[in-house]
Structure 1
């Protein structure tokens, strides 16, 4: 893990915010948020791959009026950037995801909420209003627990569920194992009640889901429990979700053309390119390397969303230029939340808003729709499909 310097005199970038925020957390929490799978090669590449692209500037274009807005669910948001779902916001501030939702609402950004939120989805929706629109969903082997969560989200007014499709089991995360990561007593799972029985915390080194991967004797015991279900399929899971909700169904965690085709054939409404922030399989593709393949396979039939390694507005610009319709940021939200609660998240948003408008002006793009592949060059071919 990086050694973080003393807080900068002024916070003008997401890197400044990271350096100011992470030292405030305990070692186990800091490394839980910052860490990735195995040797963390994919975690690093998720960010470094953006540097292989350069933005082509355009001059003598009237950029006195810049429109950074984007539309989602028929509603206009300030930017084509949203808060990616992430767990356990109460590790950063007592108000947890409620503080995050208030920041999203204050700046008119979209927000995704994790199933493992520390605040109930209803409270988050109340705080976030039209910004809190997406519930990220894990499917448990006990389908009733999952069904109850979906029905509550629809009743509360969420517009979509983002089915996490890249998590049959949690990846090997050495930092959490070394630190024996556990939630402190004051942090609870806000979306689940005692009447539903124990909820497996898949991020814990003691996760029953992980143990069952290598211990066949435990697999039968986990059936119909609140543990991750590794048996999900396009053919069975998407129709099941369709039968219990009228919300949009997004597939979060798609990285290949093959899965893009399968997702669209199954009837999903959005394909979301993600590798879980480099926290699942190490030495897999960085999400920006996956994006062009997925966009080409989607052929405009469904929107393509994107997350992974986004730390600057230039990263957002490059993802949009490569075909993403919407970009989600994860760790920067946590940096802001840890730094100063809702105010810290709003500071993070202001940084992205200022940077993106600035970049668009230099690139001669007056609206998000004008950002396309003509605005980029790549320094050298690094990934080839075999």
Structure 2
């Protein structure tokens, strides 16, 4: 990445790395079908939260400090009695099979390899049991919506406990 950014070498594998949200969006527009692209671009209701999130992200500025001494640093945290390598995780994303057949399973494996939590969406493309089999000894979280049909909610909780 350093070579690509600072020395101008554009022909190597690293020049294909994505560095911003807008670059991800541009690449997604090329590789996803229109229905999947529209689904992942949209927000709920009048999309007010989507606009607010975008405006907040636009205000973030990262100032690189190349070759600065940083000493021994750690991003490790403890959440609900579990230790993670850093204070972030992979949040719930519904219907990931619209993007890739390995979908949530690949994301779960990535979370495990990075030592961060994985949150399975209530609208996942795969079952909780599938995720439990993919990352058996890694903490798993589940996004639960409290539904009007309480029995259905209880069934979801029951499935989660067994996974």
Q: TM-score, normalised by structure 2?
A: 0.75
- Aligned match of 1:13: 19
Large movers: runs of 4+ above 6 Å: 55-58
Q: CA RMSD for the aligned pairs?
A: 2.8
2:28–2:37 CA contact under 8 A, matched in 1: no
State how far apart, in whole Å, the 1-side matches of 2:108 and 2:57 are: 28
State how far apart, in whole Å, the 1-side matches of 2:141 and 2:24 are: 26
- Aligned match of 2:140: 133
Please state how far the C-alpha of 1:101 moved relative to its aligned partner.
0.8
- Aligned match of 2:30: 23
State how far apart, in whole Å, the 2-side matches of 1:130 and 1:14 are: 32
Cα distance per residue 1:297-352 (max 9 Å; x no partner): xxxxxxxxxxxxxxxxxxxxxxxxxxxxxxxxxxxxxxxxxxxxxxxxxxxxxxxx
1:114–1:135 CA contact under 8 A, matched in 2: yes
Greater length-normalized contact order (CA 8 Å, ≥ 6 residues apart): 1
Q: Which runs of 5+ in 1 are unaligned?
A: 1-7, 157-386
Q: Which runs of 5+ in 2 are unaligned?
A: 1-13
Cα distance per residue 1:342-385 (max 9 Å; x no partner): xxxxxxxxxxxxxxxxxxxxxxxxxxxxxxxxxxxxxxxxxxxx
Choose the corresponding residue for 1:84, options 73, 88, 91: 91
- Aligned match of 2:152: 145
Q: Is 1:71–2:93 an aligned residue pair?
A: no
Structure label with greater radius of gyration: 1
2:78–2:84 CA contact under 8 A, matched in 1: yes
2:77–2:84 CA contact under 8 A, matched in 1: yes
Map residues 255-334 of structure 1 onto 2, 5 A cutoff: none
State how far apart, in whole Å, the 2-side matches of 1:71 and 1:122 are: 25
Q: Aligned residue pairs: how many?
A: 147
Q: TM-score, normalised by structure 1?
A: 0.34
1:78–1:109 CA contact under 8 A, matched in 2: yes
